[in-house]
């Protein structure tokens, strides 16, 4: 059984991709935007702040209610569906962290 997506998992995933191009802030020059892909529904969600503004990093607070599993008393997202994958959107397509890193290596 997959774990629910939470801030700790996002942080660990980002740390595993430092200086590879598979981390937000390292690939925006190629048009990549932080996003989430729901493998259960094939829905793509751009990473946003809770108020809907685009985020430059992966944030759970802007996700729609149908993928949020647990919220804190103050409204912050504590966990989201386990079927969500953090990655990037570019030109309408989803890239995993690994595929974005590969694209960054090949497109230099």
Does pLDDT of 108 surpass 80?
Answer: no
Asked if pLDDT for residue 23 goes beyond 80, the answer is yes
CA dihedral (49, 55, 59, 60) positive or negative: positive
Q: Residues 6 or more apart from 93 whose CB is under 8 A from it?
A: none
Q: pTM for this one?
A: 0.94
Tell me what the mean pLDDT of segment 98-102 comes to.
97
The alpha-carbon radius of gyration of the chain (Å, integer) is 13
Tell me the pLDDT band of 85, cut-offs 50, 70 and 90: very high
Count of CA atoms in the C-beta half-sphere (13 A) of 31: 8
Q: Could you tell me if 39 and 83 are in contact, meaning their C-beta atoms sit under 8 angstroms apart?
A: yes
């Amino acid at each position: 059984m997959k774990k629910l997506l939470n801030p700790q998992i996002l942080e660990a995933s980002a740390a595993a991709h430092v200086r590879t191009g598979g981390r937000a802030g390292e690939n925006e020059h190629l048009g990549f935007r932080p996003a989430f892909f729901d493998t259960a529904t094939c829905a793509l969600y751009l990473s946003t702040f809770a108020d809907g503004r685009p985020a430059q990093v992966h944030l759970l607070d802007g996700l729609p209610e149908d993928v949020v599993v647990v919220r804190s008393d103050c409204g912050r997202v504590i966990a989201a569906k386990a079927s969500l994958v953090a990655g990037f959107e570019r030109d309408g397509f989803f890239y995993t962290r690994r595929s974005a890193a590969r694209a960054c290596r090949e497109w230099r």
